[in-house]
Amino acid sequence: MHRINDFVWEFEKDDKLGMRVPVRVYANKHIVEQMQKDRTLLQARNGAALPSIVKNMLVMPDGHEGYSFPIGGVAALGADDGVISPGAVGYDINCGVRVIKTNLSYSDVKPKLSHLMDRLFNNVPSGVGSTMNLGFTNSDLEKIALEGVNHLVKKGYCSAEDIERTEERGCIEGAMPNKVSELAKKRGIQQLGTLGAGNHFAEVQKVDKILNKEIAKSFGLQEGQVVIMLHSGSRGYGHQVCSDYLRVLAEYTRKNSIKLADPELCYARIGSKEADDYLGAMRSAINFAFCNRQIMMHFIRKSFEQTFSKSYDALGMELLYDLSHNIAKLEEHFVDGKRMKLYVHRKGATRAFGPGSSDVTKLYRAVGQPVLIPGSMGTASYILAGREESMNETFGSSCHGAGRVMSRHQALREIPSSRTLDEMERKHIAIRVRSKKLVSEEAEWAYKDVDQVVASVEGAKISNAVARLVPVGVAKG
Confidence of residue 436 (pLDDT cuts 50, 70, 90): confident
pLDDT digits (tens, 9 = 90+) for 214-234: 999 999 999 999 999 999 999
**Sign of CA pseudo-dihedral 40, 344, 264, 374:** positive
Query: What span, in angstroms and rounded, lies between the C-alpha atoms of 133 and 153?
Result: 18
Strands (E), 16-142: 23-26, 57-64, 71-78, 83-84, 96-105
> Is the model's pLDDT at 212 over the cut of 90?
yes
pLDDT at residue number 2: 95
Q: Say yes or no to pLDDT of 415 above 90.
A: yes
Query: Mean of the pLDDT values across residues 186-190?
Result: 97
Distance between CA atoms of 374 and 385, rounded to whole angstroms? Answer: 14
Q: In terms of residue numbers, what domain contains 472?
A: 2-476
**Residue 316 pLDDT:** 98
d(CA 102, CA 320): 10
Q: What percent of the chain has pLDDT over 90?
A: 96
The CA-based angle 151-327-77, given to 5 degrees, is 130
For residue 467, what pLDDT band results from cuts at 50, 70 and 90?
very high
For residue 454, what pLDDT is reported?
98
Sort residue 348 into left (φ over 0), alpha (ψ -120 to 50) or beta: left
What is the distance between the alpha carbons of residues 367 and 440, in angstroms, rounded to a whole number?
39
Do 120 and 303 meet the contact criterion of CB atoms below 8 Å apart? Answer: yes
Local confidence band at 129 (pLDDT 50, 70, 90 cut-offs): confident
The distance of Cα 313 from the centroid of its chain, to the nearest Å, equals 27
Note the pLDDT of residue 419: 96
Q: Phi/psi at 375 (nearest 5 deg)?
A: -90, -165
Q: Residue 1: what pLDDT?
A: 87
CA distances from residue 125 to 38, 129, 192 in whole angstroms, order as listed: 34, 10, 10
pLDDT at 204 over 90: yes
Average pLDDT value for residue range 211-216: 98
How large is the average pLDDT for residues 144-148? 98
Positions annotated as catalytic residues are: 400
Q: Residues 297-335: pLDDT tens digits?
A: 999 999 999 999 999 999 999 999 999 999 999 999 999
Residue type for position 262: D
pLDDT for 189 equals: 97
Is-contact 30 453, C-beta < 8 A?
no
Q: Is 338 exposed, middle or buried (0-12, 13-18, 19+ CB in 10 A)?
A: exposed
**pLDDT tens-digit readout, 168-186:** 999 999 999 999 999 999 9
pLDDT computed for residue 26 by the predictor:
98
Q: What is the CATH number of the domain that holds 29?
A: 3.90.1860.10
Distance CA 373, CA 383 (A): 6
| Helices (H), ranges, 149-194 | 150-155, 160-164, 182-189
Buried b (16+ CB within 10 A) or exposed e, 191-225: bbbbbbbbbbbbbbbbbbebbbeebbebbebeeeb
Mean pLDDT of 340-353: 98
**What are the pLDDT digits (tens) for 253-271?**
999 999 998 988 999 999 9
Q: What is the pLDDT of residues 50-73, one digit of tens each?
A: 999 999 999 999 999 999 999 999
Q: How many domains does the chain have?
A: 1
Average pLDDT, the chain: 97
For 81, phi and psi rounded to 5 degrees?
A: -125, 15
Quote the pLDDT of residue 261.
85
